[in-house]
Amino acid sequence: MGARILIADDAIFMRMMIKDILTKNGYEIVGEAGTGTEAVLKFQQLKPDLVTMDIVMPEMGGIEAVKSIIKIDPSANILMCSAMGQKALVIEAIQAGAKDFVVKPFQPSRVLEAVARILQEKKDKDNG
């Protein structure tokens, strides 16, 4: 079975797009979250191998959610998803502990490449 992934995005359409890209390529979607708060709770419950995190979400934004998840698990693998023109927020998210980012609208190849690279780094670290 592929890596277990949690998708966090307030737009159901975006969650469906990411889910479609990932499941077609052998990844298991273990949960979905529509807010940053929900993402943190589901991360604690599900212990996914990777989280895709939207930057702008209600209740708690993606950057705050990244900080909360990193507090829970400093080795958490988080892939930020941002719209064009959110460069400053992406930099802040990376500084908060996210491993990489992809820009909406999603290019399947870029999403898969980022996910594979982050998971490979995790595997290398675990085996090293």
Which fold does the domain 4-127 belong to in CATH?
A: Rossmann fold (3.40.50)
User: Domain spans of the chain?
Assistant: 4-127
pLDDT digits (tens, 9 = 90+) for 37-76: 999 999 999 999 999 999 999 999 999 999 999 999 999 9
Q: Which amino acid is at 10?
A: D
Question: 0.85 cut: is pTM over it?
Answer: yes
Peptide bond into 105 cis (omega under 30): yes
Q: Which residues of 45-76 are buried (b: 16+ CB within 10 A; e: fewer)?
A: eeebbbbbbbbbbeebbbbbbbbbbeeeeeeb
Helix, strand or coil, per DSSP, at residue 30:
strand
**CA distance linking residue 127 with residue 123, whole number of Å:** 6
